[in-house]
Structure 1
Amino acid sequence: MTKITILHNPRCSKSRETLALLQARENDINVIEYLKNPPSANEISHILSLLGLNARQLMRTKESEYKDLSLDNVNLTEAQLIEAMVNTPKLIERPIVLVNGKAAIGRPPESVLAIIE
């Protein structure tokens, strides 16, 4: 099996639950604490294409930074929204699991099972 990667925030209960679910099935997991090691714009673009989402759909719109940075402005481009996630990784929905050219958001945690089984 290809190595599983999880973009993880240890302070998030859903992220912890998803990681535990993965660890119960696989022990070769690449855990990336994305708040400490944010993905690049290219990596976020790739994740978006795997998920079939646009940038705003991957953003945590209830975070104060979303409003503070005026990211609710409908005139912002995909590139601008992606750049905001690079600069403020707290805005990225979590957790994201990547394996075998597929991606899933662990909300609920069980949703990642479809790409690892």
Structure 2
Amino acid sequence: MTAITIYHNPACGTSRNTLGLIRNSGQEPTIIEYLQTPPDRATLLRLIADCGLSVREVLRQKETPYDALQLDDPKWRDEQLIDFMLKHPILINRPIVVTPLGTRLCRPSEEVMEILPQPQQGAFRKEDGEAVIDAKGQRIEQG
């Protein structure tokens, strides 16, 4: 088995769909419920860097204290934004998935397929019913 880790929030549909796609590839990941077990500073910095994103791109705005903390103010430096994420892990956007092929913020959930070491094993539908993988394990292109 290949080592896959998902920084997961079970209350998040995108995170649940991403976990489902990982499992649909025949893999069982290590699941870190990051709201209960937040990453430390070094791990968070490494995840952000490995995703190739800026700190602001990993900062979740929706359903968080983002507005109350006025984090849209450009005065906040990356180090300070990381401090906020560590104090309020809900500010860390999710899910972040780590595989031997890379690290990715999987929004939308289909992003995970780009870094899975094994192909999809069969049909998969998101929780909302949207078909994303056909019976042959092939991605269904939307639109």
Normalized against structure 1, the TM-score is what?
0.92
**Structure 2: how far apart are the matches of 1:102 and 1:93?**
17
**Quick one: distance in 2 between partners of 1:94 and 1:36?**
14
Deviation sequence 1:41-93 (CA, Å, 0-9, x none): 11111011111111111011233401111211201111110111111011111
**Which protein shows a greater Rg?**
2
Following the alignment from structure 1 to structure 2, what is the Cα–Cα distance between the partners of residues 44 and 82?
Answer: 8
Partner of 1:36: 36
Give the paired residue count.
117
Instruction: Work out which structure has the larger RCO, using CA pairs closer than 8 Å and 6 or more positions apart in sequence.
Output: 1
Q: How does 1:17-96 map to 2 (within 5 A)?
A: 17-96=17-96
The answer as to whether partners of 2:64 and 2:91 remain within 8 angstroms in 1 is no
Work out whether residues 96 and 105 of structure 2, in 8 Å CA contact, stay in contact via their aligned partners in 1: yes
Higher share of residues assigned helix:
1
Tell me the percent identity.
39
- 5+ residue gaps in structure 1? none
Question: Which amino acid letter does the alignment assign opposite residue 69 of structure 2?
Answer: L
The Cα RMSD (Å) is: 1.4
Q: How far apart in 2 are the matches of 1:73 and 1:42? A: 24
